[in-house]
Amino acid sequence: MEKAFVAQRVATKLFTTEAAVDAAMIEATELMADMLKARTDVGTSLVFADDVQVKMVEAIKALGEARTAMVGVHNELTEAKLRLGIRTSLGGAENKPNFMRKADKTTMREVG
């Protein structure tokens, strides 16, 4: 099988995994926010379910570490791709936010 096709298959899984970690982080932080708001909404003490909130913070921290690890995996796989002699882009731009995509051209606008 051609190296570029194998690399594309791996890259697709990488992008999917990165998106899943980001989605999990979003869900976890939204859950934390909802838990804090719920405590206020029901009028309980600040110490109510504090142990649950501490565990949630630990989970969010673990997701952050997982995301950092995935960035490392991404960088290592980029290097491996180059060592294999694959010079083409393997996609992933569709998963990047607009501000991370390369602009086709730079435009200036008037400010002030």
Q: What is the pLDDT of residues 78-93, one digit of tens each?
A: 999 999 999 877 776 5
- pLDDT-derived band at 99 (thresholds 50, 70, 90) equals very low
pLDDT over 90, % of the chain: 73
CA nearest neighbour of 95 among 7, 4, 25, 21 = 21
Cβ-contact 73, 14 below 8 angstroms: yes
pTM: 0.74
Residue 69 vs residue 102, higher pLDDT: 69
Q: Does the pLDDT value for residue 101 go beyond 60?
A: no
Residue with tokens 């594309």: 8
Instruction: Please report, for the chain, the start and end positions of each structural domain, with discontinuous segments joined by +.
Output: 3-88
- How far is 55 from 86, CA to CA, in rounded Å? 43
- 3-state SS string for 36-70: HHHHHHHCCCCCCCHHHHHHHHHHHHHHHHHHHHH
